[in-house]
Amino acid sequence: IALFLRRESQYAAAIRVVRAMKAKYPHDFLFCLEEANLRKDAGEGMAAVAAYESLLKDASTPGYFPLAHLELAYFGLGEALRGQRHFADAAKAYEQAAWTPGSGAELKRRSLVAAGKARDLNGERALAVKDYQAAIANGSDTTQGEIARRLLKTPYHE
């Protein structure tokens, strides 16, 4: 139901559904992640940040989430922080997403390019270059690799 509500941009209703499932299954990583994602997509920037941070705090307890994909939570946190123009913190979250064990190659590259963009927006060009170089090293013949190569030449700006 939440999936269909999301598709129809009925975020408040989708959040209610996911929160009910989260209350019933508090150790289900996907329900916790989906609440944070829905808050981000609904434009509830700082509420989304708080939801991602709460999820990551719970995940630090061994065994709390048996099947957690923390890289997804870190990426979402980066997106929420960037939306709030907290570029330094967004870059750190994206970098954490990239280097979390189990992070897939595509997410790693997307995270590194996003981290580089956030670093550029924050005036940290040297760190941005490192992120772009890492993205290229993880797949130079990909779309994200091409974007990273372009951003090595010209800093990202909005």
Q: Is the pLDDT of residue 147 over 90?
A: yes
**67 pLDDT tier (thresholds 50, 70, 90):** confident
Cβ neighbour number for residue 36 with a 10 Å cutoff: 26
**Quick one: pLDDT at residue 36?**
98
Calculate mean pLDDT across residues 86-103.
Answer: 97
Give me the percent of the chain exceeding a pLDDT of 70.
100
The structure tokens listed for 132 are: 């772009």
Q: Is the pLDDT of residue 44 over 90?
A: yes
**134 pLDDT tier (thresholds 50, 70, 90):** very high
142 Cβ partners below 8 Å, 6+ apart? 106, 109
Q: What is the pLDDT of residues 105-125, one digit of tens each?
A: 999 999 999 999 999 999 999
Q: What is the pTM of this model?
A: 0.95
Calculate mean pLDDT across residues 67-82.
Answer: 97
Mean pLDDT of the chain: 97
CA atoms of 81 and 101, how far apart (whole Å): 22
**Quick one: pLDDT at residue 116?**
98
What is the phi/psi pair of residue 142, to 5°?
A: -110, 170
The one-letter amino acid at 63: G
